[in-house]
Amino acid sequence: MDALQYCRQGARVNWDDLRIFLAVARTGTLSAAGRRLALDATTVARRLGRLEAEVGRSLFEVTTAGHILTARGQELLTHVQAMESAAIACAEGAQAGSVGGTIRVSVAEGFGTNVIAPHLGEFADAHPGIGVELVTSSGFLNLSRREADLAVMLARPRQGPLVARKLTDYHLGLYAQAGTVPPATLEELTAERLVGYVPDLIYAPELHYLEEVAPGLTPALSSTSVNAQAAMIRSGAGIGILHCFVGDADQGFQRVFPDRIDIRRAYWLVMHRDLRGVARVKAFVDWLDRLIVRMRPLLVGRP
């Protein structure tokens, strides 16, 4: 029996086995799938083996890098994802107006910490039935593999079953500790101690800020965390590029060359296309849009 025939024979489908298949497909390993489903790896392997026996084909190739979908596995994944989307829609309809569940949001660290997190209590008060998992890290969770429901990303994704729109523009500037004497000219920046990202660990081209200020600038103090960079600059350890919604909102910073250094970027709101009509997702997106309107003066920065 091939994967499509298996999905069509609904009487034989064991949804729990398909959930395990999805988890392995999305995480790439038995242990990671087990952690996601609160099962031990042995159970995951046994249930996956049962599913492969019923399908009659191998669904994964086991490699040193983990479990990689075979052609049959890819085929089954397409149909099981459609089943999952239908199940989500049914669950939303059954709630009949009472919005509940959990939403996982993957965001850039600076935006998550300084824009969303301080106001998240407002959303929780308005929607007590919705739990929010705010994931801030270097890089983003994979929406195509449903590692998150929503993402606020630095660039528009070019592939995958996703929908995206620009959430907002934002500006960045050069900042120093408040009260210090900044360099008089851009040329003097080469003599300053600069703070920035670890060059070989920059995960997105949009984060190459110093190159836009002047060629050849490199940080003497660096971190993969923008919050750590902000702490260095606030302490007087050096000067560096910060989001205006960080630098302008904190009296511990002063902006340097505001008329000459104004870096512009955009955040993109991205979700799996099957989640567009899900009530809890819509509730969060509507709240986020309203928050962005309120925060826009800080997002674009003071000239």
Calculate the CA 15 to chain-centre distance: 28
C-alpha to C-alpha distance for 30 and 49, rounded to whole angstroms:
12
Shortest CA distance to 118 belongs to which of 251, 244, 291?
291
Query: What pLDDT score was predicted for residue 96?
Result: 46
Backbone angles phi, psi at 68, to 5 degrees: -110, 130
Query: What pLDDT score was predicted for residue 179?
Result: 94
- Bridge-based pairing state of the strands 150-153 and 101-107: parallel
How many angstroms separate the Cα of 196 from the Cα of each of 106, 186, 201, 214, 239?
22, 17, 11, 14, 9
Backbone angles phi, psi at 299, to 5 degrees: -65, -40
C-alpha to C-alpha distance for 108 and 134, rounded to whole angstroms:
10
Query: What pLDDT score was predicted for residue 76?
Result: 86
Query: What pLDDT score was predicted for residue 2?
Result: 47
CB 244 within 8 A of CB 172: yes
Query: What pLDDT score was predicted for residue 284?
Result: 94
Ordered mean pLDDT values, 10 residues apiece, the chain (303 residues): 48 74 85 87 91 88 84 83 66 57 91 95 93 85 81 88 91 96 88 94 90 89 95 97 95 93 94 84 93 90 68
C-alpha to C-alpha distance for 91 and 93, rounded to whole angstroms:
5
CB 270 within 8 A of CB 141: no
Average pLDDT, the chain: 86
The string of pLDDT tens digits covering residues 289-298 is 999 998 988 9
Query: What pLDDT score was predicted for residue 1?
Result: 44
Query: What pLDDT score was predicted for residue 95?
Result: 52
CB 226 within 8 A of CB 196: no
Query: What pLDDT score was predicted for residue 97?
Result: 52
The pair of three-digit structure tokens given for residue 163, joined into one six-digit string: 């929908």
Query: What pLDDT score was predicted for residue 11?
Result: 41
CB 163 within 8 A of CB 278: no
What is the three-state SS of the chain?
Answer: CCHHHHHHCHHHCCHHHHHHHHHHHHHCCHHHHHHHHCCCHHHHHHHHHHHHHHHCCCCEEEECCEEEECHHHHHHHHHHHHHHHHHHHHHHHHCCCCCCEEEEEEECHHHHHHHHHHHHHHHHHHCCCEEEEEEECCCCCCCCCCCCCEEEECCCCCCCCEEEEEEEEEEEEEEEECCCCCCCCHHHHHHCCEEECCHHHCCCHHHCCHHHHCCCCCCCEECCCHHHHHHHHHHCCCEEEEEHHHHCCCCCEEEECCCCCCEEEEEEEEEEHHHCCCHHHHHHHHHHHHHHHHHHHHHHCCC
Query: What pLDDT score was predicted for residue 87?
Result: 66
Place of tokens 């790896």: 41
Query: What pLDDT score was predicted for residue 141?
Result: 77
Query: What pLDDT score was predicted for residue 138?
Result: 67
